[in-house]
Structure 1
Amino acid sequence: MSNEENKVNEEAVVEEQVEAVGTEADVEWNESAEDSQEAKIAELEAALLASQAQIKEQQDTVLRAKAEEQNVRRRAEEDVDKARKYALKKFAGELLPVLDNLERALENGDKENEAAKALLEGVELTLQTFVSTVEKFGLTVINPMGEAFNPELHQAIGMQASPDHESNTVMIVMQKGYTLNDQVLRPAMVMVAQ
């Protein structure tokens, strides 16, 4: 072999070695690039999952805040309604003696006396007007004459034997009771049959 042929052979061998080294380097580079890409993909997937979890948590927080807001609004409306409903409770309680006194005036007035008759009619009209006015605001009378005794609405002053009344029924109403918007303002004071 001549020098030229040796040179050509050597160049061919060198080229093959270079190609082999290049191919190995390419394979290593490709493998490291794939590993790097897979690591990057895994990192991005983990970040995506974390972001999705954070979004879900924030959505849950927003829903809870909205629910709390609705609860606060509902409670405030209920409080306003209760305040409106029972704002008159103390005032109505102070009016009860006035009602009682007007009723006593009618019961004890001399209906035979002509001079007192006109006065009693005026008291009766005043009482009727007064009762109808307070009824507009939810005040109702408890007058349980002849009804079964109810401890939620009646206060028993005593018990008496009575052949004319059934056992445990109201036979005498000593003082009428009143409710304000279905809440007992004053129980009726009664005498109950044994």
Structure 2
Amino acid sequence: MTENEDDRKKKPEGEEAAESSAADATERPGAIDPAETDETAENESDSLQAALDEAKARAEENWNQFLRARAEMENQRRRAEKDVAQARQQALEKLAGELLAVKDSLEMGVQAARGEEATVEKLAEGSELTLRMFDQALEKFSIEPINPEGERFDPVKHEAMAAQESTDAEPNTVLTVVQKGYRMGDRLLRPAMVIVAKAPADS
């Protein structure tokens, strides 16, 4: 009897079956190799890490785009405010230039009124000239007077100071303009002060 045959006789039957099963599992096609399992897990980990890095890069790019867009909006807002301020300043400068000419005319009228040759006719002529200059200055800035005498009372553009009985004017029409109003385009600068007609009381 050989030595191998002695070993087989000495080993229990269950141990021999276990060794046989392990050998079969190792040699059987399709069996899971622990080394292959580790390699697969490592590949999946690398793929997840790559996807995570890509997601982080996209997130950072989107955040940078958001910051740039917000900065651009802020710059546009500041430029718009600056443009509005400059336009307002230029309009005020133009208006001031027109009013200075009117002031010069008024000063000359005052000096003429104090002269020895001053007459009522000359003072009236100088005042009319100054008034025309002032009206022209207002027209350049689209400032128009509101003189609603004879028109129907409009509470948006007119301010009633009193109501007066009248047999000539229709009720609720402007009988007298105490002070003209003014508007700039569609914007009301000052309502006209008026006296409104009302029907006479029954005798």
TM bucket (normalised to shorter chain) is: 0.5 to 0.7
| 2:65 matched residue in structure 1 | 59
Cα gap change, 1:85/1:151 in structure 2, threshold over 3 Å: closer, same or farther?
farther
Q: Which structure features the higher share of helix residues?
A: 1
Q: Give, in whole Å, the separation in 1 of the partners of 2:67 and 2:194.
A: 58
Instruction: For CA contacts below 8 A with separation 6 or more, give which structure has more relative contact order.
Output: 1
Q: TM-score, normalised by structure 1?
A: 0.61
| 1:145 matched residue in structure 2 | 149
Shift of the alpha carbon at 1:117? 3.7
Unaligned runs of 5+ in 2: 1-22, 28-32, 107-118, 199-203
Q: Counterpart of 2:172 in 1: which secondary structure? A: coil
| 1:47 matched residue in structure 2 | 53
Q: Give, in whole Å, the separation in 2 of the partners of 1:83 and 1:169.
A: 40
Encode CA deviations 1:67-118: one digit per residue, 9 max, x unaligned: 33323333443344455556869x98xx9xxx9xxxxxxxxxxxxxxx6344
Cα gap change, 1:166/1:85 in structure 2, threshold over 3 Å: closer, same or farther?
farther
Please identify, of 147-156 and 71-80, the stretch whose mean Cα deviation from structure 2 is larger.
Answer: 71-80
Task: Determine if contact 1:86/1:180 at 8 Å carries over to the other structure.
Answer: no
Shift of the alpha carbon at 1:184? 3.5
Q: Give, in whole Å, the separation in 2 of the partners of 1:187 and 1:171.
A: 16
Task: Determine if contact 1:140/1:178 at 8 Å carries over to the other structure.
Answer: yes
Q: Counterpart of 1:173 in 2: which secondary structure? A: strand
Please identify, of 155-164 and 70-79, the stretch whose mean Cα deviation from structure 2 is larger.
Answer: 70-79
| 2:175 matched residue in structure 1 | 171
Unaligned runs of 5+ in 1: 1-16, 22-26, 100-114
Q: Does 1:72 align with 2:92?
A: no
Q: Counterpart of 1:172 in 2: which secondary structure? A: strand
Aligned length: 151
| 1:127 matched residue in structure 2 | 131
Shift of the alpha carbon at 1:175? 1.6
| 1:116 matched residue in structure 2 | 120
Shift of the alpha carbon at 1:151? 2.5
Shift of the alpha carbon at 1:62? 2.2
Q: TM-score, normalised by structure 2?
A: 0.58
Cα gap change, 1:187/1:69 in structure 2, threshold over 3 Å: closer, same or farther?
same
Q: Give, in whole Å, the separation in 2 of the partners of 1:133 and 1:65.
A: 42
| 2:114 matched residue in structure 1 | none
User: 1:38 pairs with 36, 44, 52, which one?
Assistant: 44
Percent identical residues: 34
Please identify, of 132-141 and 162-171, the stretch whose mean Cα deviation from structure 2 is larger.
Answer: 132-141
User: Which residue identity does 2:43 align to in structure 1?
Assistant: Q
Task: Determine if contact 1:139/1:179 at 8 Å carries over to the other structure.
Answer: yes
Q: Counterpart of 2:39 in 1: which secondary structure? A: helix
User: Which residue identity does 2:59 align to in structure 1?
Assistant: A
